[in-house]
Amino acid sequence: MIIRTDRDGFVHPRSSEITSRGAYLQRRQWLAGLAAAGVAWASRDAWAQSAQRPGKLAPLPGKASTVAGATTMEKATSYEDVTSYNNFYEFGTDKSDPVAYAGKLKPRPWTVEVEGLVNKPGRFDLDALLKLAPMEERIYRLRCVEGWSMVIPWQGYSLAELIKRVEPQGSAKYVEFVTLADRQQMPGLRSNVLDWPYVEGLRLDEAQHPLALLAFGMYGEVLPNQNGAPVRLMVPWKYGFKSGKSIVKIRFVEQMPRTSWNLAAPQEYGFFSNVNPTVAHPRWSQATERRIGEGSGLFAKRRETLMFNGYEAQVGQLYAGMDLRKFY
Ligand SMILES: Nc1nc2c(c(=O)[nH]1)N[C@H]1C(S)=C(S)[C@@H](COP(=O)(O)O)O[C@H]1N2
Ligand SMILES: [Mo]
C-alpha cells in the first residue's frame, strides 16, 4: 500500500506465535462459547479435519462448501506463513507486526452491530453469529494489492445469510464495514497512516454474492487475532484490503461509502478494487503475483494474476457493461 518494503525483497516471516498461555485461554473461552452456541464441533467432519488442523486454537469445523468457486485444487499456503505475514495496520505497518502485537486483541466478548437501511437492525453477539448459518469450509485465493497471494482454507458462511435476515430496504445500495479501533488493544492506531476506524464497503449486490464470505475461522480453527478475529470479511475476487478484519459494525447505506484506503490515496485505491491484471496500480503492474511460500527475492517465481482473481465465471456478471479502468 503506501508503505511497501516487501514487494521485491521478501523478508521471511518470523516464526513467533502468540504465547501458549494466551492461546490456551483463548481456546478455553472459545470452546465454552461454541458449546453455548450449540456448534457441533465433534462431528465426523471435525474428526477428519482434526488430523490436519494446526492445533493452536479452538476447533471450528465446516462442511465443504457447495458454492460455485468456493474450492480449489491449489495447495494451501502454510499456516505458519498465513499467520506471520500479515497486513493489519491497527497493529503496525510491518508484515511481522500483527503476529507480534495482536495478542492484546480480545476477540470475546464481541458484538457486531447491524444498522442503517434495514427492517431488522440489531446487535449480534458472536455466539448468535456463529450459529446463524451452517459453517462451511471454503478454500480461497487471497491477492493483496501489493503483489503477493496466498491460498487459505476459511470457515464461515455467505455474508448473504446475514443480509437476508436483516432485510435491507429498497433504498439500501451499499454496505459499509467498520472494524475495531481500540487504542487499548491496538498499538498501530497511534500512527495516522490511515483514518481510523478502518472502513471498507461493497455494493449491495456484491455483498449478496454467495462467494462473499463472513469468516470466523481458518484451517479448521477460530481465526488467529492477526488474521482478523473473531469475524472478518473475505471477498476473494477483490484485492485483500477490501476484506476488513475484526468487524464491529455493518451499515446499509444509500451512498457509496468513503473507505479508508480510498480516502488515503484515491487515485491508487478505488472503491471496487477488483483484482485485474490489465489495470496497473499507478506505481506498479498488477499482471503477476508472488505466491507466499514459493521462494523470495531473486528466486521468487511469479504467477500470472487472473481476472477477478480467478473468480470471473462467478462474479463477472456483476460488472457487465462497466468500464473497469474507470471503476478501478
Ligand atoms: N482492519 C483491517 N483489515 C484489513 C487490513 C487492515 O490493515 N486492517 N489489511 C487488509 C489487507 S491490505 C490485506 S492484504 C488482508 C490481509 O489478510 P491476512 O493478513 O489475513 O492475509 O487484510 C485486509 N484487512
Ligand atoms: Mo493487501
User: Is 254 known as a binding-site position?
Assistant: no
Residue 300 lies in a domain: no
Residue 210 has pLDDT above 90, yes or no: yes
Residue 125 lies in a domain: yes
User: Quick one: pLDDT at residue 300?
Assistant: 80
Residue 15 has pLDDT above 50, yes or no: no
Higher-confidence position of 8 and 210: 210
**CA–CA separation, 54 and 85 (whole Å):** 17
Give the 3-state secondary structure of residue 282: coil
Residue 122 has pLDDT above 90, yes or no: yes
- How does the average pLDDT of the chain come out, rounded? 89
> What is the CATH classification number for the domain harbouring 73?
3.90.420.10
User: Is 77 known as a binding-site position?
Assistant: no
Total count of domains within the chain: 1
Helix (H) or strand (E) holding 248: strand 247-253
Residue 295 lies in a domain: no
Would you say 201 and 177 are in contact if contact means Cβ atoms under 8 Å apart?
yes
Q: Which cell numbers hold the place of 126?
A: 458472536
**Ligand 1 centroid from CA 187, angstroms:** 16
Q: Which cell numbers hold the place of 30?
A: 472459545
Residue 10 lies in a domain: no
As residues whose CB is below 5 A from the ion ligand 2, the structure lists: 87, 144, 240-241
**CA–CA separation, 129 and 143 (whole Å):** 27
User: Is 309 known as a binding-site position?
Assistant: no
- Give the range among 32-46, 172-186, 273-287, 307-321 with minimum mean pLDDT: 32-46
**CA–CA separation, 94 and 294 (whole Å):** 20
User: Quick one: pLDDT at residue 1?
Assistant: 58
Which residue has a Cα nearest atom 16 of ligand 1?
Answer: 87
Residue 275 lies in a domain: no
Pocket test for ligand 1, best of 192, 221, 241 (most atoms within 8 A of CB): 241
**CA–CA separation, 295 and 285 (whole Å):** 20
| Domain interval for residue 192 | 54-257
Residue 27 lies in a domain: no
**Confidence tier at 180 by pLDDT (50, 70, 90):** very high
**Ligand 1 centroid from CA 157, angstroms:** 19
Ligand nearest to the CA of 242: 1
**CA–CA separation, 67 and 300 (whole Å):** 33
Would you say 203 and 174 are in contact if contact means Cβ atoms under 8 Å apart?
yes
**CA–CA separation, 32 and 289 (whole Å):** 41
**Ligand 2 centroid from CA 123, angstroms:** 29
Pocket test for ligand 1, best of 87, 179, 200, 239 (most atoms within 8 A of CB): 87
- Give the range among 157-171, 219-233, 296-310 with minimum mean pLDDT: 296-310
**CA–CA separation, 59 and 33 (whole Å):** 12
**Ligand 2 centroid from CA 58, angstroms:** 26
Measure Cα distances from 113 to 23, 159, 186, 309 in Å. 27, 14, 20, 30
End-to-end C-alpha distance for the chain, whole angstroms: 15
Residue 301 lies in a domain: no
Residue 204 lies in a domain: yes
Give the 3-state secondary structure of residue 152: strand
State pLDDT tens for residues 264-323. 999 999 999 999 999 999 999 999 999 999 987 777 889 999 999 999 999 999 999 999
Which residue has a Cα nearest atom 20 of ligand 1?
Answer: 227
Residue whose cell numbers read 451512498: 255
Pocket of ligand 1 (CB under 6 A): 86-90, 142, 144, 179, 198, 227-228, 240-241, 243-246
State pLDDT tens for residues 91-107. 999 999 999 999 999 99
* Nearest by Cα to 84 from 73, 95, 71: 95
**Ligand 1 centroid from CA 47, angstroms:** 30
Would you say 315 and 237 are in contact if contact means Cβ atoms under 8 Å apart?
yes
Which residue has a Cα nearest atom 21 of ligand 1?
Answer: 86
